[in-house]
């Protein structure tokens, strides 16, 4: 921003271009332009000219008025912008609203209004002024804090407050907007209407002048016309509105009003004491005091105190200042987590300063709503929020968070750490937080700089006075409602003053009790005496009253349910889960009244039941459990399980929301009214958890549920698919995966073989099809059934649900494959994947510059770590699983906290890409290998580089510690393996034998052997002591060996190869044991889990796969498959035959009616066939290679009458016979690639290859291993060749679909 400066000699000069953070206070001029030659331009001011122009009078006026107001600097649009500089002009248009908003004074110079006549006459001229008809002046009226109007004689006429009525009548703009209310509070249509009949000189400027009004930014394109400019503006507004809708989890302003309402209103006299408190004043007025922590015991009124502070800040802070706040509630799962806090704070900031949304849009435009809801939301929003706090345009800001102690336990540390770190980030931002007196919170907040602590217990006198005021207020209301006399009122007051113990919650609960029981006036004193002082004593009395009531049993059951539930339940769920409430299921009012019987322990908000306060739940679980759970909590868990299974069995059905297609995406699903899942969501997600916690194997009456043909068996057999659909509708698939795994674990050891087999199959089913059902719930009845093996019990029990409009002409096999899960999410090659040592997490590294941390049980992505600037090549967990190291092509190593995702350290000493990492067994050291030909050993506590090992002559590709951490092995592209002493850094041995790059090296668990993998297509096993090569395994004849790993018991080796195969070997003999196929790209890394029951592999196909390595079963393979990527496919013209070509140098001919391979043709050369075509009569097959080779095969009849394909004897690079047999059209066809290309009409594949489509609408989700490397379509048939070498045929009945 360039300003004008009035110098001491009265001369006016242009300043340098200020950056936003260094702009001094300034005034700003708003005016209407005269003729262009009359206005003083940037060139005039730069050249010291223009003083003789008529427009200079306005500049002189602004300078003199600014001087009167004590301002040295001012801004005038006509001469402060270099309009010949397109970049500067664009920045000025984008920043104009903000520049007016930040001005200390805005002077409106009205050249057509004279005040030389009567007030009535100048007011008439004011109402007709041209200034109110111009487009740009709309933002100049609304943006500034102070707008002063001047006549052409430079006399002040008034300001936006004194002339508010006239301005409102002239413009039709609401008074609230004129007074500075945030503009996003007004609808888009209302704001758009304010432009009215305004005009601009350039037609496009009418749209551009509204950018600040809507808080959006579009680059100016002069010459595009008004229509196009407004279309772009409206499109950008639409994106902004959609982003805000998706961001909004709750509006904290509404939540605050709701809190005040349910607590009986905010009493000003009960909080005003804090405004004069020394600690508060220090925080408010001292620039260095940026964080205030208000702490106190339960019931001390912290929440209402913060409500009062918010109200006072709204009154007293500058109009340009921002105020954002959030109220955590432990009993509300939507607002009791760290991500919800950030969403609420960001939402309020953007509502007040819309330009801040640019920080969200960077990520949102790519990720959409998932940015706020997926497993990475906390990390993404942390970065967004940090960027906002550092934005140089951010106005002075106050951030308030109530009840930190009510944030869920797993999230609290990272939220506290975030607050402690960010509270010192910007001098323009002040933080205020509240919580109970909890040591962990104190410990974390100690780390914040410039913190002030206000302890309510140390302000006892002030709090006591506030509580006394609150008592008077509540008793006054009670007396009026009940028409009590003065003596009764005084009795109540006396008792409360004596027993309240400075606790607001105690007062509120007693008054609520008195209101609910309609106690006669004569019995008030006796009634009061039943309320003991102190919260715990009061809770004890409330329990006693429940116990003595006629509804005792019902109340106990409700309290037991709410106290035991894993999250708040709604009224309909309570009616489903408490048998005594079944008759009231549809009577919401009756249900609310019944909940009201529970002695003030519970409160209903938006039809969801919560504890009145967290301390109430704490008391029930700690002090009253015997009364609420007389048979123990395990019995309550079992009752909830039993009721859940009962209601799910009765209510679940196929397509419960009546969606109109099997591919209906979850993000578009809207619950119908009434919602059939309203009463089923909690039972769906938690029935297994309650069964598990009941420990049924220890109780005979519960054990029946886990018997063959028992309730669980019947439910899984008859309702499993409907349950999966419902779980997906509830967006709970990760919970569903964990639930079935927990159920399988529960069954182990039980004498229920039939149930065990069924649940095993159910677990494999959900693990394999999780993503498809998560994306489109009804794919449970399509993709999930079609792509399950024939032996699947779930597929068998639900065969009636399979779609009849599609058939697979080649069977996928009879058993589940050894691949347990396929994890998708990376957008580039996955280079490395490892298990954590506690087996709870997985980590992966990718060419997309990210590291992902996954939940090992559910496959849910927990975090995406994004600090690297180039490919990430390797990841390694510390042995205590608390830290993760990542190596990158940006020459750095980063150390991450696995819980919070925070980057703890960046190590920068390598001078080349870092290729491999390994922690020592005791997690005390980290080793790294690099393209710079060195290995470095780092101290894992200080991250100091202890040693640099520099004896290799080329890239070091792999590094590994021995189990006792005394030795280190490294593998290099110099074809050598070196063993080092970790203490001295001395090279102990150099192992030679490989003939090409060595890609991987690993110690056996007992450290007696080493295994290495090489580009020479071999694995070598070495004696780690002598360096003797014990075995040479020719591992992969068709691919280089990229990675090798020992099992934990050192009995097996697994190798990964560029040929997309994992191979398991006997480590002692080198014998081949098993091959695992499924990846469609080169496999870059493989590792065993610590217990050796699972394998994890990372691939060029962008997936991570988890394999079952524990049962010794051999996976199924289809004998007639290609052994390498399918490169080309084609149908015969009558669609009865299908040809596939592969990198394995074969072509296969298939019968499309049954999927049988009729013949395999050995093409006899090394050129890859990437084009295929049948002749018109299908008697010839043409093969074309990328280098121009074309050959033909003829269909001949052998002596038995079988028709077989044989190669023509004459073969040339371009067959002369092709024109005779095929004609020009088919020659053109064969010269086109037959690789996968999406089509729009009929049967086809989606653009990404994930769906089979019909008329561009999704039909069937394809699992990753069925996605095409090439494809062909003929009528309703689609043939797919995939990276693993498999070929698949699908026949789609169009008539059945339509």
CA–CA distance, 1050 with 1027 (Å, rounded to integer)? 18
DSSP conformation class of 353: -
How far apart CA 745 and CA 1187 sit, in angstroms, is 56
- Record the tokens describing residue 198, joined without a space: 């305004």
Read off the pLDDT of each residue in 1164-1180 and give the average, rounded to a whole number.
85
Question: Phi/psi class of residue 891: alpha, beta or left (left: φ > 0; alpha: ψ in -120 to 50)?
Answer: left
- When pLDDT is cut at 50, 70 and 90, the band that residue 457 belongs to is confident
Pairing of strands 967-972, 147-150: unpaired
| Residue ranges with strand state E in 1132-1168 | 1137-1142, 1146-1151, 1156-1162
3-state class (DSSP) for residue 45: helix
User: What pLDDT, on a 0 to 100 scale, did the predictor assign at position 520?
Assistant: 78
Q: Which is more confidently placed, 714 or 543? A: 714
- Does the structure show a pLDDT above 70 at 1138? yes
Residue 937 — φ and ψ, nearest 5°? -115, 130
Q: How confident is the model at residue 780 (pLDDT cuts 50, 70, 90)?
A: very high
The string of pLDDT tens digits covering residues 614-647 is 788 888 888 888 888 888 889 999 999 999 999 9
Do 669 and 777 touch, CB atoms closer than 8 A?
A: yes
What pLDDT digit, counting tens, does each position of 216-275 carry? Answer: 888 999 999 999 999 999 999 988 888 998 999 889 999 999 888 877 788 888 899 999
- What pLDDT is attached to residue 1223? 41
pLDDT at residue 909 is higher than 50 = yes
Residue 1233 pLDDT greater than 50, yes or no: no
Query: What pLDDT, on the 0 to 100 scale, is given for residue 1114?
Result: 44
pLDDT in tens, 645-658: 999 999 999 999 99
pLDDT value of position 1240: 59
pLDDT band of 1080, cuts 50, 70, 90: confident
DSSP 63: H
Interval 1077-1084 mean pLDDT: 89
pLDDT of residue 1111: 53
At residue 130, does pLDDT exceed 90? yes
Share of the chain above pLDDT 90, in %: 54
- Residues 938-966 as b or e (16 or more Cβ within 10 Å = b): bebeeeebbbebebbeebbbbbbbbeebe
Query: DSSP for 228-288?
Result: HHHHHHHHHHHHHHHHHHHH-S--HHHHHHHHHHHTT---GGGTGGGGG-HHHHHHHH-TT
> Cα separation of 462 and 467, whole Å?
9
d(CA 247, CA 111): 46
Q: Tell me the pLDDT tens digit for each residue of 341-361.
A: 999 999 999 988 888 988 998
Mean pLDDT estimate for the chain: 88
DSSP label at 1283? T
Query: Residue 508: pLDDT band by 50, 70, 90 thresholds?
Result: confident
Determine the pLDDT at residue 1216: 45
Q: What is the pLDDT of residues 31-76, one digit of tens each?
A: 998 888 899 999 999 988 989 999 999 999 999 999 999 999 999 9
Amino acid 1239: pLDDT: 57
The CA-based diameter of the chain, rounded to the nearest angstrom, is 120
> What would the pLDDT profile of 673-695 be if each residue is shown by its tens digit?
999 999 999 999 999 999 999 99
pLDDT in tens, 369-407: 878 887 778 988 999 999 999 988 888 999 999 999 999
Read off the pLDDT band of 1196 (50, 70, 90): confident
Closest to 239 in 3D by CA, of 368, 374, 328, 88: 368
């Amino acid at each position: 921003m360039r300003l004008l400066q009035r110098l001491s000699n009265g001369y006016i000069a242009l300043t340098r271009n200020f950056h936003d953070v260094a702009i001094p206070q300034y005034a700003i001029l708003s005016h209407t332009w005269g003729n262009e030659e009359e206005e003083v331009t940037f060139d005039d001011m730069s050249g010291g000219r223009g003083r003789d122009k008529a427009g200079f009078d306005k500049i002189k006026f602004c300078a003199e008025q600014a001087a009167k107001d004590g301002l040295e600097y001012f801004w005038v649009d006509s001469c402060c912008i270099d309009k010949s500089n397109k970049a500067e002009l664009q920045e000025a248009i984008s920043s104009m609203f903000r520049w007016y908003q930040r001005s200390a004074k805005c002077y409106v110079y009205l050249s057509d209004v004279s005040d030389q006549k009567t007030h009535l006459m100048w007011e008439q001229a004011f109402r007709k002024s041209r200034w109110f008809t111009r487009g740009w002046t709309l933002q100049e009226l609304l943006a500034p804090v102070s707008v002063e109007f001047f006549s052409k004689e430079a006399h002040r006429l008034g300001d936006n407050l004194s002339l508010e009525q006239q301005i409102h009548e002239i413009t039709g703009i609401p008074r609230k907007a004129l007074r500075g209310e945030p503009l996003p509070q007004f609808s888009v249509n209302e704001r758009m209407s304010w432009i009215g009949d305004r005009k601009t000189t350039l037609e496009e400027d009418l749209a551009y002048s509204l950018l600040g009004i809507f808080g959006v930014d579009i680059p100016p394109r002069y010459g595009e016309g008004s229509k196009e400019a407004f279309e772009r503006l409206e499109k950008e507004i639409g994106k902004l509105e959609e982003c805000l809708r998706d961001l909004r989890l709750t509006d904290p302003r509404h939540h605050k009003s709701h809190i005040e309402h349910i607590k009986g209103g905010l009493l000003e006299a009960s909080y005003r004491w804090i405004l004069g408190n020394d600690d508060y004043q220090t925080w408010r007025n001292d620039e260095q005091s940026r964080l205030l922590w208000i702490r106190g015991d339960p019931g001390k009124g912290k929440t209402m105190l913060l409500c009062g502070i918010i109200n006072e800040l709204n009154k007293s802070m500058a109009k340009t200042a921002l105020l954002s706040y959030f109220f955590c509630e432990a009993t509300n799962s939507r607002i009791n987590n760290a991500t919800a806090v950030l969403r609420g704070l960001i939402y309020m900031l953007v509502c007040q300063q819309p330009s801040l949304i640019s920080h969200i849009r960077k990520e949102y435009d790519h990720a959409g709503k998932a940015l706020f809801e997926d497993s990475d939301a906390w990390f993404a929003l942390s970065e967004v929020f940090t960027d906002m706090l550092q934005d140089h345009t951010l106005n002075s800001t106050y951030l308030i968070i109530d009840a930190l102690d009510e944030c869920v336990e797993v999230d609290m540390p990272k939220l506290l750490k975030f607050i402690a770190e960010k509270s010192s980030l910007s001098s323009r931002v002040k933080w205020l937080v509240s919580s109970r007196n909890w040591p962990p919170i104190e410990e974390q907040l100690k780390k914040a700089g410039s913190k002030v602590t206000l302890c309510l217990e140390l302000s006892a006198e002030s709090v006591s006075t506030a509580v006394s005021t609150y008592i008077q207020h509540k008793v006054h209301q009670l007396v009026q409602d009940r028409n009590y006399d003065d003596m009764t009122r005084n009795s109540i007051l006396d008792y409360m003053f004596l027993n309240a113990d400075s606790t607001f919650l105690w007062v509120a609960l007693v008054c609520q009790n008195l209101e609910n029981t309609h106690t006669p006036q004569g019995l008030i004193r006796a009634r009061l005496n039943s309320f003991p002082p102190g919260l715990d004593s009061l809770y004890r009395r409330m329990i006693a009253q429940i116990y003595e009531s006629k509804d005792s049993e019902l109340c106990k059951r409700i309290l037991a349910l709410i106290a035991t539930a894993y999250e708040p339940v709604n009224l309909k769920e309570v009616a489903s889960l408490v048998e005594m409430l079944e008759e009231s299921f549809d009577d919401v009012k009756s249900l609310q009244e019944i909940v009201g019987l529970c002695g003030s322990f519970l409160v209903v908000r938006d039809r969801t039941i919560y504890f009145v306060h967290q301390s109430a739940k704490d008391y029930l679980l700690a002090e009253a459990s015997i009364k609420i759970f007389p048979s123990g909590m395990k019995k309550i868990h079992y009752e909830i399980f039993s009721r859940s299974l009962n209601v799910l069995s009765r209510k679940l059905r196929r397509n419960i929301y009546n969606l109109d297609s099997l591919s209906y995406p979850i993000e578009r699903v809207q619950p119908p009214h009434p919602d059939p899942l309203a009463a089923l969501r909690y039972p769906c997600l938690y029935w297994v958890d309650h069964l598990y916690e009941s420990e049924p194997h220890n109780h005979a009456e519960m054990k029946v549920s886990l018997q063959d043909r028992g309730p669980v068996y019947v439910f899984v057999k008859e309702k499993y698919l409907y349950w999966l659909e419902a779980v997906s509708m509830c967006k709970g698939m990760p919970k569903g995966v964990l639930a079935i795994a927990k159920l399988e674990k529960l069954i182990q050891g039980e004498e229920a073989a039939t149930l065990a087999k069924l649940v095993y199959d159910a677990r494999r089913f959900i693990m394999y099809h999780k993503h498809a059902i998560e994306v489109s719930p009804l794919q449970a009845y399509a993709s999930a059934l079609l792509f399950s093996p024939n032996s699947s019990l779930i597929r068998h029990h639900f065969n009636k649900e399979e779609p009849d409009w599609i058939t697979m002409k080649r069977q996928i096999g009879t058993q589940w494959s050894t691949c347990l899960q396929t994890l998708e999410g990376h957008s580039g090659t996955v280079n490395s994947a490892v298990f954590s040592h506690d087996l709870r997490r997985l980590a992966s590294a990718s060419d997309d510059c990210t590291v992902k941390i996954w939940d090992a049980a559910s496959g849910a992505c927990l975090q995406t770590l994004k600090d690297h600037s180039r490919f990430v090549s390797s990841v390694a967990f510390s042995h205590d699983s608390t830290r993760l190291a990542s190596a990158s092509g940006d020459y750095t190593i980063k150390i991450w906290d696995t819980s919070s995702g925070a980057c703890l350290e960046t190590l920068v000493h390598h001078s080349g890409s870092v290729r491999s990492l390994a922690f020592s067994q005791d997690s005390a050291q980290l080793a790294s290998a690099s393209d710079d030909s060195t290995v470095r050993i780092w101290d894992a506590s200080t991250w100091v580089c202890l040693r640099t090992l520099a004896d290799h002559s080329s890239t070091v590709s792999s590094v590994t510690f021995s189990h006792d951490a005394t030795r280190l092995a490294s593998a290099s592209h110099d074809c050598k393996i070196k063993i080092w002493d970790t203490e001295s850094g001395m090279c102990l041995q150099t192992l030679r034998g490989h003939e090409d790059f060595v890609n991987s090296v690993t110690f056996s668990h007992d450290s007696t052997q080493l295994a290495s993998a090489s580009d020479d297509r071999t694995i070598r096993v070495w004696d780690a002591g002598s360096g003797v090569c014990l075995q040479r395994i020719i591992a992969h004849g068709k691919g280089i060996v990229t990675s090798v790993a020992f099992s934990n018991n050192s009995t097996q080796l697994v190798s990964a190869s560029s040929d997309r195969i994992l191979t398991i070997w006997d480590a002692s003999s080198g014998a081949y044991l098993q091959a695992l196929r499924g990846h469609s790209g080169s496999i870059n890394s493989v590792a065993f889990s610590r217990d050796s029951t699972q394998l994890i592999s990372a691939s060029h196909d962008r997936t991570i796969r988890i394999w079952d390595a524990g049962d010794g079963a051999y996976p199924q393979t289809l004998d007639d498959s290609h052994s390498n990527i399918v490169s080309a496919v084609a149908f015969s013209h009558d669609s009865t035959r299908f040809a596939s070509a592969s990198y394995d140098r074969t072509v296969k001919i298939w019968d499309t009616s049954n999927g049988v391979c009729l013949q395999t043709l050995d093409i006899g050369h090394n050129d890859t066939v990437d084009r295929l075509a049948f002749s018109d009569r299908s008697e010839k097959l043409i093969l074309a290679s990328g280098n121009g080779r074309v050959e033909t095969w003829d269909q001949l009849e052998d002596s038995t009458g079988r028709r077989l394909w044989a190669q023509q004897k004459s073969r040339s690079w371009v067959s002369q016979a092709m024109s005779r047999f095929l004609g020009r059209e088919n020659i053109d066809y064969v010269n086109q690639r037959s690789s996968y290309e999406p089509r729009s009409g009929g049967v086809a594949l989606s653009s990404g290859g994930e769906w089979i489509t019909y008329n561009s609408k999704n039909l069937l989700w394809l699992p990753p291993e069925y996605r095409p490397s090439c494809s062909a379509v003929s009528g309703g048939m689609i043939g797919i060749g995939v990276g693993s070498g498999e070929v698949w045929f699908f026949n789609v009945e169009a008539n059945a679909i339509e």
